[in-house]
Amino acid sequence: MVPADMTTAVAVAIFWVVLGLVVFAVAVRSGRGGEGGSGEAAKRHGMTGLIVLAFVFGLVAPTLVLAHNAEHKASEGPGGLRLTAAETTGRELFSEKCNLCHTLQAANAVARTGPNLDVLVPTVPQSARKAYVLSAIMEGEARGFGQMPALLYQGKEAEDVAAFVAAVAGH
């Protein structure tokens, strides 16, 4: 199965090759010389139309590719790790409150008040990481590095942040 990004890139490349061949064919055809008059005017209008078409496509194609890639990139974590919907939401929530104090490379957070989660969380066994982070969010544990307020997030939001941190810390 071909990834969607590859399919889009191939489609765009094929379009540009075909458009280039059409422009080349029109240019060769109009360069042969001929009788002036209305034939020359028609050729100029045809070439103008092709230029306008190429310009419009040059604006539309990148816009569509960027829009498609934005959706794809939202669920991409460090090292090509694919994030679930909950982890993607957790990344957004982490950036609102947690990155002010914690360092976490996957969130581009480099704060120094709280512990570096890229170092601290990987010391916990993989199976217990989410529960460990969720406990810290709920209880506001200091763990010797300052004082994190309890209940910065609650319920599903706390679960999402814990899932994100547990998935990406140390990657």
Q: What share of the chain is helix, strand, coil (3-state, %, to 5)?
A: 70, 5, 25
Share of the chain above pLDDT 90, in %: 33
Say how many CA atoms lie within 13 Å of 141 toward its Cβ.
10
Q: Which residue has the tokens 């974590």?
A: 77
Q: Residue 144 pLDDT > 60, yes or no?
A: no
Pick the residue with more confidence: 18 or 123? 123
Least confident of 52-56, 84-88, 91-95: 52-56
Residue 35's pLDDT is what? Answer: 53
The tokens for 5 are 């990004």
The tokens for 32 are 């042969």
**Mean pLDDT computed over 94-116:** 90
Distances (CA, A) of 141 to 30, 77, 138, 146: 77, 26, 8, 9
- Predicted TM-score (pTM) of the model is 0.58
Residue 89's pLDDT is what? Answer: 94
Q: Residue 168 pLDDT > 80, yes or no?
A: yes
Q: Residue 87 pLDDT > 70, yes or no?
A: yes
Q: Residue 12 pLDDT > 80, yes or no?
A: no
